[in-house]
Structure 1
Amino acid sequence: MGLLTSLKSSISRATSSLFTGSEPKRIGIYGPPNAGKTTLANRIARDWTGDAVGPESHVPHETRRARRKENVEIKRNGKSVTIDVVDTPGVTTKVDYNEFLEHDIEKEDAVRRSREATEGVAEAMHWLREDVDGVIYVLDSAEDPFTQVNTMLIGIIESQNLPVLIFANKIDLDDSNVQRIANAFPQHETVPLSALEGENMDEVYDKIAEYFG
């Protein structure tokens, strides 16, 4: 058995042992800013409950506090899994208020937002270490996945023995490259999708039920 096959088998066994019982699993949606985490969280919540988790925006760090939609029941292929969808702030090494100024936000508001976003990143990291049962890691498939933040977060997730699915989002974009993400993190399964367009959501739900059910 090859090293990669062995590692995937170990992750699968860890997933099975973690998710026993009937309590809802708290699944954190993580990833860098503007990867489409809130769009995905809203897509999941609307599809299964009819309600959204929070507002979507092209402005970076619009999600500055973790938001939760509880008791989302997903039924796929005769299997049912109930999860709490947790939309977390985009994790980054630095939040610069100048990012907000580029979106015509006044300086005072930009400084406030950057402070809140920094606090939100700290909160997201706390949740990752203390308060989630599994992770959906969302990446923009049109961006380079080989970043310090992505490597760090995937490493932390693995050190916590948390089951993780990597979602390559924004496949509706012309410069999308799903294989680049799969190559970056070959030890985990990569699922392509467009949360905005609802493309490939059937497979998304199949994998959520398989990994977290």
Structure 2
Amino acid sequence: MAFLPVIALVGRPNVGKSTLFNRLTRSRDAIVDNQPGITRDRLYGRGKVGERPFLVVDTGGLEAEDGPFRAQIRQQVEQVVEEAQVVILMVDGEQGLVHQDREIAERLRQSDRRILVAANKTEGEDPHLAAADFQELALGDPLAISALRGDGIDRLVEAAMAGFAHDDAEEADAPPRIAIVGRPNVGKSTLTNRIVGSERVIVSDTPGTTRDSVRIPFEFAGRVLVAVDTAGVRRRSRVAEAVEKFSVIKTLQSIEDADVAVLVLDASSEIGAQDASIAGMVQDLGRSVVVVVNKWDGLEGRQRRRIRDELARKLPFLPDPEILFVSALHGSNTSEVMPAVIGALDSAMVELGTASLNRTLRAAVTQTPPPMHHNRPVKLKFAHQAGKNPPVVVVHGNRAEALPASYVRYLGRYFANAYRLRGTRVRVIPRSGENPFADRKGTSRPSQGSSRRRRKL
């Protein structure tokens, strides 16, 4: 079972790493500013070229001068090189080769990672001439790009992804995977041992005992499954030990690779921003989710009411997940976890008949018609399923692509509720129908009288 390839972006400040990160991930997660040194921590995101997904990491800029964050940034970049399979050294094509580029290249040559050099900010220049200065770095042929305009990005990503095999048949035959995710010391390893029925994972009161993702095949109700116990995701300000910096990227890889995520929460402490962040990772990657609130035994009624209230307030974006209250240590209610996981897995892989989908679409439109677009009605006519895990439904109609995001979310919720899907969000893609007369604009249709006159002639 292969994890997604990891591509790291490194370089001195203000060479365009965050701009390239945003373009590769199709997001604006990285702050982009002309002031050097804005990115002080690592950002992780999911990119895709063709049918091949990958993870991309944006790092803080490396500088030789001392400063309040220089040592931390250098440590971050050195660690991310260990995490990545490919490192893209970004340089400034406008400024040309500078001493800092040489220093960073020297550090990178000491690693065993594959290194690519990307000369950014080369808009309007001959690619070969713009990148020629950086041949001196002796890291292969530099590639001229423009992260801002997108020039040369496809060629750069193709070079980065070269050599990574992707066996679709092997993935199709792989058993379903269940990622156990959550903060450190919430009981993920104890719950994993309960699920698989043996002491397969080391359990300790010390947070961070699990440093890597542990994959355990097992059987449940005649089905072969794989449980993945992940390292706990800490708050970044608390991540000091170098090896624990793997946790975020390992968790992202495990969620991406999984079919269902089991989000484990600690009932003895409040549901915090880090819990919501991990839930957001699951949501963003489109995975079905089961929420397990651990350490439920021994709590007073007031504490239990507080947890239930926090679940409603802090995790409202999760798509109607099964929520279980258990004690992994004592085994209370843990027998309910796997049936809930199977329910979420079946929801993720559900097959929706076209006739049934269209009846459901008509019912959704009847209950809440789509809003007008420029005083013209949006007519939704036809729906069909286009994918699984998560279920993808394409809705066709006149001006369908003008639907507001709120209405698209409404359709997704309506489909999920109609088919009783648990912990699974239906992704709805609106598609506008083509106008068969679009290429005949400006041509008037002959009147009935004129056609009669032509026939008489």
TM-score of the aligned structures, taking structure 1 as reference length: 0.70
Which amino acid is 1:87 matched to? D
Which amino acid is 1:52 matched to? E
Matched, 1:203 2:336: yes
Matched, 1:182 2:311: yes
Structure 2 CA distance, aligned partners of 1:151 and 1:182? 10
Q: Is the 8 A contact 1:34 1:60 kept in 2?
A: yes
Structure 2 CA distance, aligned partners of 1:137 and 1:144? 15
Matches within 5 A, 1:132-171: 132-145=258-271, 147-171=272-296
Counterpart residue number, 1:116: 243
Query: Please, which of 88, 94, 100 is the counterpart of residue 230 of structure 2?
Result: 88
Task: Summarize deviations over 1:119-178 as a string: whole Å, max 9, x none.
Answer: 23322223223x212100000112111x22222221221121100000011111325525
Offset, 1:96? 4.2
SS in 2 for 1:157: helix
Which amino acid is 1:124 matched to? T
Structure 2 CA distance, aligned partners of 1:22 and 1:33? 32
Which amino acid is 2:204 matched to? S
Q: Is the 8 A contact 2:228 2:254 kept in 1?
A: no
Higher RCO structure (Cα 8 Å, ≥6 apart): 1
Consecutive unaligned residues in structure 1, runs of 5 or more: 1-20, 98-110
Which amino acid is 1:35 matched to? V
Counterpart residue number, 1:42: 193
SS in 2 for 1:137: strand
- Residues 22/212 of structure 1: CA separation in 2 closer, same or farther (3 Å cut): farther
Counterpart residue number, 1:192: 325
SS in 2 for 1:143: coil
Offset, 1:22? 6.9
- Residues 171/116 of structure 1: CA separation in 2 closer, same or farther (3 Å cut): same
Q: CA RMSD in A?
A: 2.2
Matched, 1:125 2:291: no
Counterpart residue number, 2:182: 31
Structure 2 CA distance, aligned partners of 1:160 and 1:119? 19
Structure 2 CA distance, aligned partners of 1:203 and 1:127? 23
Structure 1 CA distance, aligned partners of 2:238 and 2:288? 32
TM-score of the aligned structures, taking structure 2 as reference length: 0.34
Q: Is the 8 A contact 1:27 1:85 kept in 2?
A: yes
SS in 2 for 1:210: helix
Query: Which has more radius of gyration?
Result: 2
- Residues 208/127 of structure 1: CA separation in 2 closer, same or farther (3 Å cut): closer
Structure 1 CA distance, aligned partners of 2:179 and 2:233? 13
Structure 1 CA distance, aligned partners of 2:237 and 2:251? 14
Offset, 1:69? 0.4
Consecutive unaligned residues in structure 2, runs of 5 or more: 1-171, 347-457
SS in 1 for 2:290: strand
Which amino acid is 2:194 matched to? R
Structure 2 CA distance, aligned partners of 1:136 and 1:58? 20
Q: Is the 8 A contact 2:262 2:290 kept in 1?
A: yes
Offset, 1:188? 2.4
Percent sequence identity over matched residues?
27
Q: Is the 8 A contact 2:233 2:248 kept in 1?
A: yes
Which amino acid is 1:128 matched to? I
Task: Summarize deviations over 1:43-102 as a string: whole Å, max 9, x none.
Answer: 1112xxxx33311000011111111101x1112xxxx433200000111123747xxxxx
Q: Is the 8 A contact 1:74 1:209 kept in 2?
A: no
Which amino acid is 2:341 matched to? I
Query: Please, which of 183, 188, 200 is the counterpart of residue 53 of structure 1?
Result: 200
Q: Is the 8 A contact 1:95 1:118 kept in 2?
A: no
